[in-house]
Structure formats: structure tokens, C-alpha cells
Chain A
Amino acid sequence: MAKPTKNPRPIISNNISDASAQVVLDGLDSGFTIDDIAPSKGPKLRAEKQFSQENLDELVSLSDRGAPIPGQSLMNNPEEPYSWEQPPEFTNPREALDYVVSLMFEPEAMKNIIISLSKGAAVIDIGVAILYSQFTTGKINPDVLLMLVEPVTYIIMAMGEEANIKYNIEGDDLDEFDDEETDEEEEDLKDEFKNPLSNIKEKTLNKGIDKSKINSGVVPESILAKVEESSPEIKSILNKGEI
């Protein structure tokens, strides 16, 4: 594109999905193409989920170790509470988001996130793991945690896109968006096929043809008789029929 036709529109929203959709639509409206906004970088690396016996074993061993004894937390010394039992460090979600995002943008962290994306870890799982660790270290409370899931998801998605990885969003859904695409394409094709037929029908009905003016001798009677013979006899459901 040569030059945007207008300046960006000021946008404000309470959720990042809506805000980014509005920004993208505004960009398209200003003369950008999708390729300008999301430049293609060639074929993406498919982040297939890989089975790892070692990881599975670790998970099993973790569950084997059992859970805390009921009431165990009540036996703790009140003078030494857990980090998450104390007031969180960040109560303002803006500050918490800045903190978490700045940690994520550290080169080492970014590298680890990209590695895990490429190994098939889902975006939401990584985001939740990051936020959960912040909760357990007493940085944020559960309410702020839940508020940050969406923006953190977007940051991880952007990292995945920059690294040119075809990533899972939630669980194992690598091709989910593409599958939907084929479904949508099929629907579009069906619509395209249906449209001419319905157009003919509509046009015919709208022409206002007077039946009395139709010339009855156009179709030979022998052909009409054949049609009548071959067509099934339509009976009313109230018809007695043959006994």
C-alpha cells in the first residue's frame, strides 16, 4: 500500500479481543491489507503435540505423592503465612499486567515460551501457568489473575506468530481454524449454488404472470398424460384408501 488514507481511530474497550478486532478493522478501513498488518513469513512450523514418556512419568509420580492432608493448612504457623495468603503485591491490574508482560518479554523467557509453543504446548496453558506462578508467589490475587488471562494469551499468540509457529490455542487444536474454514467454504459454495435457483424462482414469481393468458396448447397432450402417469399419486392423509 502507498499511504494510509486516514489516521487511526481512537478505540477503547474493556476486552483486548474487541479492541484488537476494532484496530484491525480500522486498519483495513484506512487502506491497509491483511498482508500489511500480518506480513507472511512463509510456511509455518507446525507445533504438533509430542508424547513424552518422561513427562508422563513425572506427572504420575507427582500424583502418586498424594495431596495435603485435610486441615493441614490450619496447622501452619499463622506468623508464617504462604505468599498467596498475604495481600498481593499488585492490586491494580494495569500494574500487574505490565509486570507480567515485562517478565515475558525478557529474552530468556521469550525463548522458553517459543520453545514450548513449538513443542505443542497450548497458548492458554502457558499463559495460565505463568499467571498461576505469579499468584503463588503473592504477586497477584485470583481476581487479577483471571483478568489477565486474555491479554497474556494475546501476547503469547503474538510471540508465536512472530516466531512463525502454527500453535495450539487450547488443547490440541492446531487445525481447528482451518477446518472451520473448509466448512465455511462449503457453506459459501452451497449458497452460491442456491442463489441462482432462488433468483430464478423469485424473478418468475415477481413477473406477475397471468395464468389465464398462458396458451394451453404449448405442451402436447400426450406428454402431459405421460407426466401424469409417471408422477406418484398424492393422497391426503385423511383419504380412506383401499381396504
Chain B
Amino acid sequence: MGLFKSIKKAFKKVGKAVKKVVKKVVGGVKKVVKKISSSKILKALAIAGAIIITGGAALTAFGSTTGLAATKFGTWMMSTSQSVLGGTAFGSAAGKSFIPRVLTQTGNFVAKVAAKPFGAVGGAIGSTARVGANIFDPNQTLFQSGPAATGPKPFSGAALSGTGAPPPPAPVVPGTPPVQTYAELNPGSLTGNKWGDYVVGGVGSVIGGVATGYAQQELLGGDPRGVDAPLMNESKDSLGALQVYASNNNFNLNDIYGQLTYGTADPGYIASTELYTQDTIGVPS
């Protein structure tokens, strides 16, 4: 358990360090903007920080009509990334292998927003982990005592051995079910076998689709088409900050994906701002 103890010690240190940094930043901003309360500056910093980290998803997460998304500041912050995304320089400057990865990551983010709650951890690990796990569990209140939802009982044999709670035993069904044929399982089958149905169904749907498309084309005169976005040329300063940062920190710009950076010029932020335009999650009621 030495590892956990040292981590807990590190937590305390990091916690204090983060608070110090936050305080320092509040003080720094306050020096520039006088006569404004510290808590107001703290609020502004927290909002800006959340927007940077989530690439704007935080705006809609807090409510797209009443929350941050409705503010002019939120819209204004999104405009940097939109101008950078509109250009072509990113592909050439940052390397083509990088952008698809970031975009995939962005896509993953959307998928993960609807992700299932993760499994809770064993009680042997302690209450800290359980509180962390309970946060994500709809069936547990935050500081609820007792074991976490799917984890083993605290200090039980399963928890201490690290094997986790055993899965619930499968219900025992007496006897072996009789094997059914494809036709028996699919009474609506046209050909009586799977392949035949696939071929018939596929061809039928293709023919049907083509016919419907043709009819629609004739009747409606083609699909409606939006206005094309104008091609934007990237200005020097949009990516300048990123290039200077990479140069100052002595790493290749292509390796930016491995660096945890923040800001409106950060590729992660830029790619994630696409989320700003779509509904990601509802407001908890």
C-alpha cells in the first residue's frame, strides 16, 4: 500500500499547488481589472477554463439557451477555432496523421458523453475511490456508505485479492433446447435460407431505393443544397502561437497530440469546438 500512501500525499500537495496557482491567477487578473471582486474573477476563470478543456461542449452542457452558450463571450470564444478549422494550413502544418486522430478523438468524445457508468471499485481501496465511483452511479448518493455499486464488498476476500466481485451465476436451465432451423426461426423468410434472403432482400432494397430516388428526383427536382462555405485561407497568426510553443518547448509539432496543452490555439480545443454546434447532453433536472 506504499503506492497509495504516496499518491495520497501527492494529492494533498497537488491540491495545495493547484489552489495556489488559482489564487495567483485570480490576483494577476485582478491587478489588471481593478474594483472587481475576486469571486467574480474566479467565476470567469472557471468558465473560460471549462470552455477550453471541453472545446465548447461545456457551453451546451450547461444548457444551450440559458447557460453559457447563450452568452456573447461563449460565441466569441468559438470564433478562433472556427477560423482555424476553415483553413487548410492545419493539415500541412501539423501533419496529416494528426488531424484525423484528433477528429476521431472528438467523435469518441461525443460517443462517450452517452457512455455507461463505469464499474465501481473495491472497498479495499478505500472510501476515496468509492466516492469517486459513486459520483458516476445513478443508484448511489455521493457519500453513501457501504460497497460501491458493482465492486466487491469492502475488505472482503474478493476485494483484497483484487479479483473483484464474481459475476452473478447464470440461471440454470434444465435440459437442452431443441435446435431450430433457419426457416423455423424466421417464419417470414422468402427463400428459407439466410443467404437467399440476403440476396433477395439486398437486391430488392437496392432496386426499391433506386426507384424511389428516381421518382423523388423527378418530382422534387433534386436534393436541396445548402450554401457552400467559402474557402478560407489561414492567416499567419492563427497557428503561429502553436508553432512558437512547439519550438520553445523543443518538440515536433506533429507530436502535439502527446502533449497536454490548453488554449484556443490548442488542436484538441480547435477540433472539439465542432461539438459546440450540436446538442451533446441534456441538463440534469
Q: Do A and B come from one complex?
A: yes
Residues of A within 8 A of B (CB): 1, 4, 7-25, 27-28, 30, 32, 34, 36-39, 52, 54-55, 58-59, 62, 65, 67-68, 72-73, 76-77, 80-85, 92-95, 97-99, 101-116, 119, 121, 124-126, 128-137, 139, 142, 145-147, 149-151, 153-155, 157-162, 166, 169-170, 173, 177-178, 180-181, 184
Band of interface residues on B: 35 or more
Cβ contacts under 8 Å, A169 to chain B:
19, 22
Q: Are A149 and B76 in touch, CB under 8 angstroms? A: no
Given known contacts A20-B45, A23-B263, A135-B7, is B129 in contact with A94 (CB within 8 Å)? no
Evaluate contact between B32 and A102: CB separation under 8 angstroms. no
CB-based contact B80/A8 at 8 Å? yes
Q: Give bound CA distance, A128 to B9, whole Å.
A: 12
What 1/0 mask marks residues of chain B from 1 to 24 whose CB sits below 8 Å from any chain A CB?
A: 101000100110011101101111
User: Does B85 sit at the interface, judged by CB under 8 A?
Assistant: no
A155 to B127: give the CA distance in the assembly, Å: 22
Chain B residues lying within 8 Å of A11, measured Cβ to Cβ, are 241, 263-265
A-B contact count (CB 8 A): 334
CB-based nearest B residue for A4:
B76
Which single member of A38, A54, A113 contacts B145 (CB below 8 Å)?
A54
Q: Which of B109-117, B168-176, B202-210, B214-222 touches A?
A: B109-117
**Interface of B toward A, CB cutoff 8 Å:** 1, 3, 7, 10-11, 14-16, 18-19, 21-26, 28-30, 32-33, 36-54, 57-58, 61-62, 67-68, 71-73, 76-77, 79-80, 83-84, 105, 108-109, 112-113, 115, 117-122, 124-138, 141-143, 145, 154-155, 160-163, 237-242, 245, 249, 257-266, 268, 280-284
Can you list 12 contacts pairing A with B, beta carbon distance less than 8 Å? A15-B262, A23-B263, A83-B121, A92-B257, A105-B113, A128-B128, A129-B131, A149-B14, A151-B53, A151-B262, A157-B42, A178-B38
Residue of B nearest to A57 (CB): B145
Name the residue of chain B whose CB is nearest to the CB of A151: B53
Partner of B47 from the list A37, A76, A81, A111 (CB cut-off 8 Å) is: A37
Q: What residue in chain A is nearest B83 (Cβ atoms)?
A: A7
Given known contacts A15-B262, A32-B72, A37-B73, A20 and B49 CB-to-CB distance under 8 angstroms: yes
Main secondary structure of the interface of B (DSSP, over half): helix
Q: Is the CB of A62 within 8 A of B154?
A: yes
Whether B280 contacts A76 by the Cβ 8 Å rule is no
Check A154 against B53 for contact (C-beta < 8 Å).
yes
In-complex Cβ contact of A21 among B25, B131, B142, B281 (8 A): B25
The DSSP consensus for interface residues of chain A is helix
Q: Which chain A residues border B259 with CB–CB below 8 Å?
A: 14
Q: A221: shortest Cβ distance to chain B, in Å?
A: 51
In the complex, are the beta carbons of B132 and A98 less than 8 A apart?
no
Is there an interface contact between A24 and B29, defined as CB atoms closer than 8 Å? Answer: yes
Determine the chain B residues whose CB is within 8 A of the CB of A21 once the complex forms. Answer: 25, 28-29, 45
A139 surroundings in chain B (CB, below 8 A): 118
**Could you tell me the distance in whole angstroms from the C-beta of A213 to the nearest C-beta in chain B?**
43
- Cβ of A32: which chain B residues have Cβ within 8 Å of it? 72-73, 76
List residues of chain B with CB within 8 A of the CB of A52. Answer: 143
The reply to whether A116 and B142 contact each other, CB–CB distance below 8 Å, is yes
Say yes or no: A178 contacts B39, CB within 8 Å. yes
